[in-house]
């Protein structure tokens, strides 16, 4: 075991250095950290076949990825969800479920696989790049699936950044009050950071509403991953050459960690400093994992997917935004 750990160090060290570089660029230019991490990883793709680097890169793209997703549970409490009210919660649930179903159906229309439709729909519906990474962890794995995951991460991050700028303008144009503006922003923008940026761009009250609603969407990640894991269990076992069917294959360990942290946090068992620390570790793990995934994929391989993933993700984004906005406007008139 010690020898295996030592073999991972070169690749792990390289991924961490690139993650730090991405974080520095992001903090300096106020850009999307995940996107910078991915681009830096792709730039070092030529090292992915290096025997010294490969074990660490594989470790980062799988184990660290799962740990980062599991630690997302430290952000969420049951009281945050209860404070939303049933009407707001119903709108968010409807938007998430319908976007997932829309992505699933649209993938068939575009000649793409069911797993690609679920992955793209989940990324848009829940929490952008983090959801894409979590869902991909329970889907059948092959070289094309990893490339598609990176394509989704790139596209959904760009769309989320555009939404962060565009959606506040829509709320101002419609003169939405802070509560409804927060519902629109938190219920439609892909990534947590972009939701916070858009909400607090308007005012503090809108920002608080938007972030709370966004965390409710993040809390749905556990349910979605569980359902997807059950849907694709047999295909995943075939792709990974596993014969045994066990509860561990259905409910991955990182999902148990996510649920346990939500329960513990809801009971007041996680202090604010510890919560901040776990959130930082979660983000760090995901950024390092994105670097590693980027190193495993070349630009030419990303280009091989063509225009269909972009159309699918853009359509899902428009679907979700239009649905939430229509429900808000109908509620105002009622």
Residue numbers of the domain that contains 234: 2-333
Q: What is the pLDDT of residue 305?
A: 63
Regions of the chain short of the pLDDT cut 70: 1-4, 142-143, 236-252, 297-305, 333-334
Q: Which residues contact 258 (CB under 8 A, 6 or more apart)?
A: 69, 70, 71, 72, 73, 221, 222
Q: What is the pLDDT of residue 298?
A: 66
Q: What is the pLDDT of residue 244?
A: 43
Q: Rounded to whole angstroms, what are the CA distances from 162 to 120, 137, 152, 194, 317?
A: 17, 27, 15, 9, 11
Helix ranges (DSSP H) in the chain: 2-29, 33-43, 54-59, 65-70, 78-82, 86-109, 114-122, 128-136, 143-173, 178-188, 192-202, 204-219, 221-231, 233-239, 247-250, 253-266, 272-295, 299-303, 308-333
93-104 pLDDT per residue, tens: 999 999 999 999
Angle, helix 272-295 to helix 128-136, in steps of 10 degrees: 70
Q: What is the pLDDT of residue 188?
A: 94
Q: What is the pLDDT of residue 94?
A: 95
**How far is 158 from 168, CA to CA, in rounded Å?**
16
| R_g of the chain, CA atoms, integer Å | 19
Q: What is the pLDDT of residue 257?
A: 86
- How many structural domains is the chain composed of? 1
Q: Which residues contact 185 (CB under 8 A, 6 or more apart)?
A: 167, 168, 171, 195, 198, 199, 206, 210, 213
41-79 pLDDT per residue, tens: 888 888 877 888 888 988 887 788 778 878 878 877 778
Q: What is the pLDDT of residue 43?
A: 86
Q: What is the pLDDT of residue 1?
A: 46
Q: What is the pLDDT of residue 6?
A: 79
Q: Which residues contact 245 (CB under 8 A, 6 or more apart)?
A: 233, 237
């Amino acid at each position: 075991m010690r020898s295996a750990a030592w073999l991972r160090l070169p690749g792990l060290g390289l991924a961490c250095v690139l993650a730090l570089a991405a974080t520095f660029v992001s903090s300096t230019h106020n850009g999307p950290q995940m996107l910078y991490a991915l681009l830096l990883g792709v730039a070092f793709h030529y090292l992915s076949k290096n025997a010294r680097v490969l074990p660490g890169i594989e470790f980062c793209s799988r184990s660290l990825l799962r740990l980062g997703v599991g630690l997302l549970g430290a952000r969420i409490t049951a009281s945050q969800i209860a404070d939303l009210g049933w009407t707001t919660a119903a709108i968010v649930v409807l938007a998430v479920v319908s976007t997932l179903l829309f992505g699933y159906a649209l993938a068939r229309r575009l000649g793409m696989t069911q797993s690609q439709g679920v992955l793209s729909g989940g990324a848009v519906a829940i929490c952008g790049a983090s959801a894409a990474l979590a869902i991909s962890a329970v889907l059948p794995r092959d070289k094309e699936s990893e490339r598609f995951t990176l394509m989704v991460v790139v596209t959904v991050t760009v769309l989320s950044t555009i939404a962060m700028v565009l959606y506040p303008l829509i709320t101002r144009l419609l003169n939405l009050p802070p509560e409804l503006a927060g519902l629109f922003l938190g219920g439609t923008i892909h990534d947590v950071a972009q939701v916070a940026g858009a909400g607090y761009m308007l005012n503090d009250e809108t920002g608080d509403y938007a972030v709370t609603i966004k965390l409710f969407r993040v809390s749905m990640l556990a349910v979605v991953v569980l359902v997807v894991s059950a849907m694709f269990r047999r295909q995943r076992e075939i792709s990974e050459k596993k014969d045994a069917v066990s509860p561990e294959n259905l409910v991955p360990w990182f999902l148990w960690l996510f649920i346990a942290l939500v329960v513990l946090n809801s009971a007041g068992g996680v202090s604010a400093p510890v919560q901040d620390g776990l959130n930082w570790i979660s983000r760090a793990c995901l950024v390092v994992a994105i670097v590693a995934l980027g190193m495993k994929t070349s630009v030419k391989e990303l280009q091989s997917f063509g225009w269909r993933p972009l159309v699918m993700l853009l359509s899902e984004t428009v679907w979700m935004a239009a649905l939430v906005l229509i429900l808000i406007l109908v509620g105002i008139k009622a």
